[in-house]
Structures are given as C-alpha cells and as structure tokens.
Structure 1
Amino acid sequence: MDRRGLIIGYLLVIAGATLFSSKAIFVKLAYLERPDALLILAWRMMFALPVFAAVGLFEILRRKRDGQPMPQRSSVAGAIGIGLVGYYLAMILDFTGLLYVTAQLERLALFTYPIFLIFIGAALFGLRLTASAVIAAFVTYLGLATVFISDFSLGGPNILLGTVLVLGSAVAFAIYQLVAKRYIGEMGSALFTSIALSAAAVTTLLHVALMRGGLDTSMSTHYFLLAAGTGLLATVIPSFFVNAGLARIGATSTAIISNVSPLLTIYFAVILLGEEFTLAHAIGTALVVGGVGYHSWRELKSPAPA
C-alpha cells in the first residue's frame, strides 16, 4: 500500500481509539444529571440500534444480490447468544460499575480483558498458557491493584463493588472474544456485529420496558446529547474507523495503537471530569498498559496456535 493509504489507516485507528476511550467520559457526565446505569445504557442502544440494523440489512441485501448463501439459523442463534454475553451483560456490568468508580479505574479494569481471555482460553478452550502470559497477567493486576488501593482509600467499599462489576464486564467480553471468532468466520464481521449488537440493544430496551414500564424521556437536551455521544461517537463511528484502519495497516499496528486507549481515557477524565491523577495512578497505569502491551507484542511476534 502507498504511503498515503498507510497514513489514512493510522489516522483512522487513532481516531477510533480516541472515540472508544470517550465512552466512560460521556457516561460519567450523564451521571451528573441522572445517576442511572440502565437509563443511559438504554438510550445508548436507542441511538446505536438503527445504524447496526441498517448495516445488517445492507449486508443481507448485498448477499442476495451477489448470490451468496445466507447464514445458517444455528449461526444466527449463536451470534445472538454471544452478543447478549459480550454486549448486553458486559455493558450492564460496566455501566453499573461506573456509578462507583472513577473513569480511570473503570478503563484500566476493563482493559484487562485480554488477560482474562488467556486464562479462560486455557481452562475451557485448550489454548496454550505461556510464561509470558503469566508475567503479563502479574504485571497487569499489580498495576490495577495499585490504582484500586489508591482509590479505595478515598472512595470506601463502593470502590470494591464497582471494580468487581467492571472486572465482571471484562470477563464477559473475554468470553465473547473467544467464542465470537467461530461465528465471524461463518458469516463475516459486518453481519455478525450487526446481529450481536442489535440483539443486545433490543434485549436492553425490553429489559427497561419490563422493569420500568417504558423509556424515560424527561431528561434535559444536554443528557440526550451525551447519550447520543455514547451511542454514536463512542460506539458506532469508532467501530467503522478501527475496521477501516485495520484493513489498511494490519492487525499488528492496530493492536499497538489501540493500547493508548486507557491513556486517552485518563487524560479526558482529568481534564473534563476533574479526576485526581496521583503518582499511584501513574504507576498503576504504566503497569496495566505495559502488561497488556507486553502480552500483545509477544502474541503478535509469535502467535499461539488456534
């Protein structure tokens, strides 16, 4: 690829990582008006659902036009099921956890999902557990513990609850990553993502309807703008940006660039939310990003067999 294409690819991935990192900021700002995890999550899905549904419809029509086979019902059911784990369940845990922890701690805890993926993969899917993976896990959780202890001294027991919820979200997303590969290979990433996200969105909205009788619309315009930002700027648009960048610069460069996402979240949290950034936060962040980055580098250098 020419230099211009590579530059565009890098810029797309950087933009995608930046937008992804803004999710916790949008949610935290919305909590200043309504500290309600299910409400902001439902509105996030309201804004994202039409886009993912349209992408799925476009993909189905394209397949019909080109004479390509439709995915089997079992594959569709699998995509729906794993979408509920990786998005519906993971998002509820994550957004609820954000009620109790800082955006910085949330992002670092969520960023540990590759480490959970290593051990879950080894325990349930027969993946090889390497010494470098164990080292990466130790360094990563040492860093997370450093930030947790610092925040716990200020926030009390709710910090523990919030951290456990976000780590639960990371576990759910790790399981999603392990299982989703099969269905992506069968139906393609665009259609799979559309089905998985649409199923999660519809389930979230049904959850709200059953629990609360409907979707609250009494919030301010500012709240709806934050919800739209969460659904579009922090969910839909970066998904397309990262995928487009991945096609241009490859998985290695994309993975390395994506490692800056927690750093961007921390920067936004300090600047926009006024969160404190201490020496403990700096050390913990360096350890978490370093541990995950080390594992990513080792895997990209000599990937483990599937």
Structure 2
Amino acid sequence: MILSADAPYERPRSYYWMGALMVLVAAFCFACKGILIKMVYQEYPVDAIALLSLRMLFSLPFYVTMAWWLSKTTPGEHLCAREWLFLALVGITGYYVASYLNFLGLVYITASLERVLLFVYPTFVLGLGVVVFKRKIKPMQYGALLLTYAGIALAFWPNINSDQQKDVFLGAFWVLLSGLVYAVYLVGGDRIMARMGSQKFTCYAMIAATVPTVLHGLIQHGWRVFLSYPAPVYGISGIMAVFVTVFPTFLLAEGIRRIGSGNASILASIGPIFTIVLASVVLHEQIDFWQGLGTFLVLAGVCWIGWKGKKG
C-alpha cells in the first residue's frame, strides 16, 4: 500500500512495546534504591546525608554531560533569569529535600513499607491540583483516594509493633513528607518541564540539587564524608548513581515519549511489587497477608487516580 504525503506515520508495534519495556526496566531500577540503601545502613556506619551526597556526586558527571549534549542537539529553552531560578528551586525541592527525607525515613522502616508509603505521592499531586489550580476532584477519584488510604492503613498497621522497624511512626512521617515534597516538585515544575522536555529538565534539576546536597554533607561531616568510608560504600553509591538514578531516569523519559505518560504511570505502578519481592529475597524482610493486601489496594487506587485523570 502506498501512503500519501499527508497520511499520518504509523509507528511499528515494536516501537511501543519497547517503550513499555523501558518503563518496566526503569521501575525495577528505581525499586532497587531502597534495597541498596538498607544494605548500606545495615552493614556500615553511614547516615542519610552522607549516602545521598555520594549518590548525587557520582551521578553529577552524567547529568552535566547529558545537559551539554542536549543543549547542542535540541532547541534552546529561552528561559529568563527568574525562570532559571525557579527551575533550580524546583530541582532542589525534588532531588535534595525529597530525597533526603526519603533516605532519612529508610533509617527507621523497611524498604517494602517505604515504597508503599512513598507511592501515594499521586494523591498529593491530586490534592495540590485542588489547592493551587482550583481543580475539582471527580466523584470517582474520591473512591480512588479512599481505596489508596485504606491500603496504606492495612499495610501500615501490622508494622506498628514489628521488630523489623526501628520507629515506624517517625519513619512513615519522613517518607510521607518526602512524597508530599516530591508532589510539590512535580506540580511546580510541570510547565517548565513541558517547555524544555523531561530529559533536559531533569538534568538541570539534578545539577541544581547536587549543590545543596554536597554542602549539607560537608557541613555535617566535613571532607570525611567523601574520603573515610569503606570501599563497598563507594561501590554501592556508584551503583545507585548509575543504575538507580541516571539510567532509569532517561529510560523512563524515553518510555514516556513512546507510550505516553498515562500508560507509563500505570506500568510504573509495579515498582512497589518489585521492591517487596527484592526486600523479601535480599533483605529477608517478612511480608504478611495484610501488607500484601494493603499494597494491592494502594496500587489499585493510584492507578485509578492516574487513569481517571487522563480520561478527564
């Protein structure tokens, strides 16, 4: 069949299947983050800001290189000084503040519970949309919110007196606060991200966030934050930088470009399942029936919110 010049170009199905695979691989890589962090905490005397500083420092060259390459191969962004400042503040919020709170929460709770709690950030995005942009929550989304928070209660309750948690309430507080801050990052950066593209935006945001992260580490620990830990700490930090941060960041961005953000968000919801399985196998965390059921309800509610949001 001969297509006319005006006929829309139909991409092969393999193009979309490859996009779906990219999203799934990215979700798996992101799911490994909590496992690696808990491994370091259990074996070595490293705190949250030291580990986060090493991760950001190791990932910085990749983001600087990619930002330079994108600036040469894609159209300029033409942002004014105020917009560049806003982009930097948004990046610091999402990749310094939110990440630090997340690392801090993992000091107190298991990786599997952390991932379930953190995954409710779409409900925070929905709430911020109501507060900031005066959007209305649709009746069906109320049901999704109820489902999500019922799931959190089921996943959280059995862990209150669990020996696996150091301080379940404090850890949950830090992780939920991390999710809220990350939601602020997503809502705040939405418009600039749409103008620049997700890859370029992420590069600049990560570069901006690296500065206060490293300064925080230096203020708290001095130069020993980079020089005084056992070799495995630097090795795991490097793995987190490359395979849990840089690689999945760009893989997810390309996957979203191929299959769309709505489909990508639904596929990426398998992330907590990956974390739970890995936590059970690698860290020997015990997962009971109620936490499994709660996880299922959280995922169902989050997918519902994303699906209804796209339909509207």
TM-score, normalising length: structure 2 = 0.91
Which residue type is aligned with residue 160 of structure 1? F
Count of equivalent residues: 299
The match for 1:48 is: 59
- Compute the displacement of 1:189 (Å): 2.4
The match for 1:108 is: 116
The answer to whether the 8 A contact 2:151-2:293 is kept is: yes
1:140 and 2:151 aligned? no
1:34 and 2:34 aligned? no
1:60 and 2:87 aligned? no
Q: Map residues 174-253 of structure 1 onto 2, 5 A cutoff.
A: 174-214=183-223, 215-253=225-263
The answer to whether the 8 A contact 1:37-1:99 is kept is: yes
The answer to whether the 8 A contact 1:76-1:195 is kept is: no
**Residues 1:48 and 1:157: Cα distance change in structure 2 (over 3 Å):** closer
Which structure 1 segments of 5+ residues have no match? none
Cα distance per residue 1:85-133 (max 9 Å; x no partner): 1111101110000000110111011100000111122122212222222
Query: In structure 2, which of residues 259, 262, 276 is the aligned counterpart of residue 266 of structure 1?
Result: 276
Cα distance per residue 1:7-28 (max 9 Å; x no partner): 2222211111111111101111
1:129 and 2:140 aligned? no
Partner Cα distance (1:49, 1:200) in 2: 10
The answer to whether the 8 A contact 2:198-2:253 is kept is: no
Partner Cα distance (1:152, 1:117) in 2: 27
The answer to whether the 8 A contact 1:116-1:170 is kept is: yes
Which structure 2 segments of 5+ residues have no match? 1-10
The answer to whether the 8 A contact 2:28-2:274 is kept is: yes
- Mean CA deviation greater in 89-98 or 209-218: 209-218
Which residue type is aligned with residue 15 of structure 1? V
CA-atom RMSD in angstroms: 1.6
1:158 and 2:167 aligned? yes
- Compute the displacement of 1:150 (Å): 0.8
Which residue type is aligned with residue 201 of structure 2? F
- Compute the displacement of 1:234 (Å): 0.8
Instruction: Give 3-state SS (helix, strand or coil) of 2:246's partner.
Output: helix
Q: Map residues 1-16 of structure 1 onto 2, 5 A cutoff.
A: 1-16=11-26
**Residues 1:15 and 1:205: Cα distance change in structure 2 (over 3 Å):** same
4+ residue runs of structure 1 moved beyond 3 angstroms?
Answer: none
Partner Cα distance (2:22, 2:72) in 1: 27
1:91 and 2:102 aligned? no
Partner Cα distance (2:197, 2:148) in 1: 32
Partner Cα distance (1:76, 1:213) in 2: 30
The answer to whether the 8 A contact 1:30-1:227 is kept is: no
1:254 and 2:272 aligned? no
